[in-house]
Structures are given as structure tokens and as C-alpha cells.
Amino acid sequence: MKTFRNFIGGEWVAPAGGEYFENRNPARWSEVIGRFPDSDARDVERAVRSAQRGFEIWSRTPAPIRGEVIRKAGDLLVARKKEIARAMTREMGKVLTEALGDVQEGIDTAYYAASEGRRLFGRTVPSELRNKWAMTYRRPIGVCGIITPFNFPMAIPTWKIFPALVCGNSVIFKPAEDVPHTATLLVEILLEAGLPPEVIQLVHGRGETAGRAIVEHPAIPVISFTGSTETGAIIGETCGRMHKRLSLEMGGKNAQIVMPDADLELALEGVLWGAFGTTGQRCTATSRLILHRQIHDKFVKMVCDAAEKLKLGDGLKPGTDVGPLINRAAREKVEYYVEVGRKEGAVLEIGGAVPKSAALKDGWFYKPTVFTGVKPGTRIEQEEIFGPVLSVIRVSSLEEAIKVNNGVRYGLSSSIYTRDLASAFKAMEALENGITYINAPTIGAEAHLPFGGVKQTGNGHREGGWQVYDFYTETKAIYADYSGKLQRAQIDTYE
């Protein structure tokens, strides 16, 4: 069995405590991919000392040159796209087409970040005083702690790491323990692209140990985390106490609304992709379907007939539509919520079980599941399940649909299918989400637009697009006075 290492201090090293965990294939649990370091605070300590040295070099490297390194990383991702996607499917389970998309999102992010190295705009503004210039520019902040989830093993780390690096920061990267192999490949690529070794540190391990040590380390002023709202709250408390800059990207309970005037075939494709793509393990997954009563029964039948035909299996096998869940705990959570749904009186239309077929026995598979008669306010309507479970809610108007959409504590993405322009625009304005799709599913964010949610999905920051560059830089204001005398702002101008 292959043993993998951390990348700390410019070299591939074993963890201080000598402990490892196994990384297994969720579609065939008996298949072990490798052993990865179960790191602790000592490893993080070493990583911090090295990343501080990395920061000294990198923060002084011109931003366009930093961008060139990220461009090269993008080129290497292009060259190795298929190989990385296969490794990703093997450790994460999503079907190969989706894994290829995940790598592509990393490539898109690389090229956007590379060009940002030639922008990183500041502003020049007039001063209220004569012979005085005023302007702002962006400064790197320091060592950034990047903690990422299992569901997008390449895209999400690159959303955070590439902008952080282009802005001149150094990075300590702690990937989810379910997907350490893709993370290792990403770090290899950054090094091959010419990133000075101490600028990136890879610390494998668990959230409670390695993750916690990063969040609590006083010399890491920036933390970016994607994961559960519960863990985000713990991280938020620590970062608040320590005055750290923190970006949180957390849960969702996203809904697709279908109006009577919608193209139902299109809406069907949307909900299948949104609810069961990535086995429902996306923050942006469609976990609620809000149907106007006029098309409710017809559309429920369309969804159930089609969802039952989805082919479960190993994501590497051609023809597979839905892969496994990530691990035992994830499947147990789904089973738990299906039980909750039954007890709450929702009607289980399809699924609600582990598939029986012998070929799927060794993986964490679960049948696509649809509940109807789900009442707003019930637990399966309110809580994030992170699995292939769709709750259908019946409504009588657009206003009611919007109210149901907004009646949860999360606010990541939403979607409406309608041919009516007025309904589309009303929804665009009234849906309380960071992302709204018109005639498209709740998933499908592009790398050059801001990504994030309102309410308890986030804490006001955005990833992707131009906005993330504000998170990874400190804005400094400069006043250059060449008048040769003391000029007092607010006072001399108004004498």
C-alpha cells in the first residue's frame, strides 16, 4: 500500500506523530488508495514556520510573475486533466464526467487568477488638498489557512488557493480526509509550475486535530473554510476571538421552483441534475422541489419515473449516472433523514433504501429518493441532508413559492422554471439566495462569478470572480503630499 506524505518546509515528510489514516474508494470500500498522514499541531507548527519564510519571498515577487506560476499550474491541469479526474472519482465517487468538470473548474480558476496578477487594481482618487495625491493599493496579508471539503476535491481548493497565491500570500492547505489524493496532485502541480516550495504547505489530517491547530494558530491571520454550518460556527468563534479574517462557505437547502407555464421537460432535466448529480453532495444541490399545484401531480410522476431509471454504480464505469455517497457516516445520515421524513408524514414515492444488487454491496450507495407532501417547517424541508433526497412541496402561487424558498436558515442557490418574464424577474428580486438560476438548475456556478450564500450559508464573503481578491488582500490608503508644507485635512480646506 502506498504511503503518502505531507508537504512541509519544502519537502515531502512523514507526520510528527507517525500516525496515518486510510483513504478508500467509496464505490468499493475494500479498495484502499493509500495511507495519508494523520497530522497534529506539531506538523502545523512546522508548516507555519516554513510558510512565514515562504511569505517573505512570495509577497515581494511581482504579482504578474505570481500570476504566471498559476497560469503554468493551469496548463499542467489541462495536460493531466483525465488522470486527475480518474483519481478524483476513485477517492470521491462522483461520476467521471463530473470529475472532469471539477478539474475544469480548477483550470478556469487558474486562468482567471493568472490574469488577475496583471490587474489587482487599486484606485487613484482626488485629494481635497492641493499638491497631494491619494490612492489605494492591495497588500498581501500573510499565511492563509485553507480548509476544504470532500465534494469538490479540485475546484474548491483552487477557488481559495489560487487567488490567495496571486495576491502574494502563502498557504497552509488542509484538505478533507476523504480526498487527500487529489489534494496531493494539486500541490505537486503547483510545485512543478514553479511555486517556491515554502509558499505552499500541505497538511493532511482530521478537522478536530490538524484543522483545529490551523484555526487556532496565532500566526495564521486568514482562514477560509468550506464545510458544515456547525463546524463553521466553531471556527467563527475562534476567529472572532483572535481577530482573524475568515471566509465561511457552509450549508444549503436549495430549491427549484416550477411554475405552470414552465417547459416541463427542461425543468425535469434540471431537477435530475440538481438533485441527484454528485449524489446530492453539493452545497448547491437541489434538495427541495417547489411545484405549483397545476403541474404538481404530472411533474412528480415525470421526476419519479426518470429518477428510478438513473443508473447507480462506480463513477469510472461508462453509463453510470449516480455514484456512491462518500462514506458510512454520510449514508447513515441519509438513512436517518429518510426515517425522519417518514415519521413526519411525508410520502415516500421512490427510493428510501440501499440498493440490493451484489455489484453495489461494497460501496456507500443509496437510491435516489423522492418525498412528496412535504410540509414547510418540517425537518426534511429545513435541514441539509447532503444526499440524493428530494423533498417536494406543493404551492398555489409564485408568492407562496418564494415564501417557501425563503423559509429556511440557509440561502445559497435557488432556481425557477417559467416562461413568464415577470415571474422570472419577481423571483430574481425576491429569492433570498446568493445565486439564482432562471430556467437552469440550482447547480452550475461558473468560476468567474462570485459564489456564496446569504443567511447561515456564509458570513458575507464570496469566492470566485473578482470579489475573492478583496478577501485575500489588505487595502492600504496612501496620501502623498508634495506641497512642502503641513496641510491639514478637514481643517485647511474649509478655513
How many other CB atoms are found less than 10 A from the CB of residue 474? 15
3-class SS letters over 394-448: EECCHHHHHHHHHCCCEECEEEEECCCHHHHHHHHHHCCCCEEEECCCCCCCCCC
Give me the phi and psi of 76, to 5 degrees please.
Answer: -70, -35
Exactly one of 244, 282, 292, 394 binds ligand UN1 (CB under 6 A); that residue is 282
92 within 8 A of 24, measured Cβ to Cβ: no
**Does position 152 bind ligand UN1 by CB under 6 A?**
yes
Would strands 20-25 and 132-140 be described as parallel, antiparallel, or unpaired?
A: unpaired
Rounded-to-integer distance, Cα 192 and Cα 186, Å = 10
- Residue 98 appears among annotated catalytic residues: no
CB of 445 to ligand UN1, least distance (A): 3
Rounded-to-integer distance, Cα 369 and Cα 391, Å = 9
The catalytically annotated residue of 105, 283, 381, 384 is 283
- Binding window for ligand UN1 (CB under 6 A); candidates: 34-42, 92-100, 178-186, 281-289: 281-289
Could you say which residues in the range 407-436 bind ligand UN1, by CB under 6 A?
none
**Residue closer to ligand UN1, measured from CB, 205 or 274:** 274
How many other CB atoms are found less than 10 A from the CB of residue 115? 14
Would strands 413-417 and 369-372 be described as parallel, antiparallel, or unpaired?
A: unpaired
**Residue closer to ligand UN1, measured from CB, 34 or 444:** 444
The C-alpha angle with vertex 217 and arms to 214 and 221, in degrees rounded to 5, equals 90
Exactly one of 25, 151, 182, 405 binds ligand UN1 (CB under 6 A); that residue is 151
- Residue 249 appears among annotated catalytic residues: yes
**Does position 271 bind ligand UN1 by CB under 6 A?**
no
CB of 226 to ligand UN1, least distance (A): 7
- Binding window for ligand UN1 (CB under 6 A); candidates: 78-86, 149-157, 210-218, 465-473: 149-157
Distances (CA, A) of 469 to 258, 465, 475: 36, 8, 11
CB of 356 to ligand UN1, least distance (A): 30
**Residue closer to ligand UN1, measured from CB, 188 or 383:** 383
The C-alpha angle with vertex 96 and arms to 32 and 317, in degrees rounded to 5, equals 75
Rounded-to-integer distance, Cα 86 and Cα 79, Å = 14
**Residue closer to ligand UN1, measured from CB, 170 or 436:** 436
Grid cell for residue 297:
401531480
Exactly one of 144, 147, 248, 445 binds ligand UN1 (CB under 6 A); that residue is 445
Map grid coordinates 487568477 to a residue.
113
Could you say which residues in the range 91-130 bind ligand UN1, by CB under 6 A?
105
Exactly one of 444, 459, 487, 489 binds ligand UN1 (CB under 6 A); that residue is 444
Side-chain half-sphere exposure of 390, counting CA atoms within 13 A: 33
**Does position 334 bind ligand UN1 by CB under 6 A?**
no
What are the residues facing 370 on neighbouring strands? 350, 390
- Binding window for ligand UN1 (CB under 6 A); candidates: 120-128, 151-159, 290-298, 318-326: 151-159
- Binding window for ligand UN1 (CB under 6 A); candidates: 173-181, 276-284, 352-360, 420-428: 276-284
- Binding window for ligand UN1 (CB under 6 A); candidates: 278-286, 330-338, 366-374, 424-432: 278-286
**Residue closer to ligand UN1, measured from CB, 52 or 467:** 467
**Does position 443 bind ligand UN1 by CB under 6 A?**
yes
Among residues 175, 372, 422, 414, the alpha carbon closest in space to that of 285 is found at: 414
Rounded-to-integer distance, Cα 477 and Cα 475, Å = 7
**Residue closer to ligand UN1, measured from CB, 258 or 443:** 443
Grid cell for residue 210:
490538524
**Does position 35 bind ligand UN1 by CB under 6 A?**
no
CB of 173 to ligand UN1, least distance (A): 17
The catalytically annotated residue of 116, 198, 249, 381 is 249
Q: Which residues are catalytic?
A: 249, 283
Which residues of the chain form contacts with ligand UN1 (CB under 6 A)?
Answer: 105, 151-152, 155, 282-284, 443-445
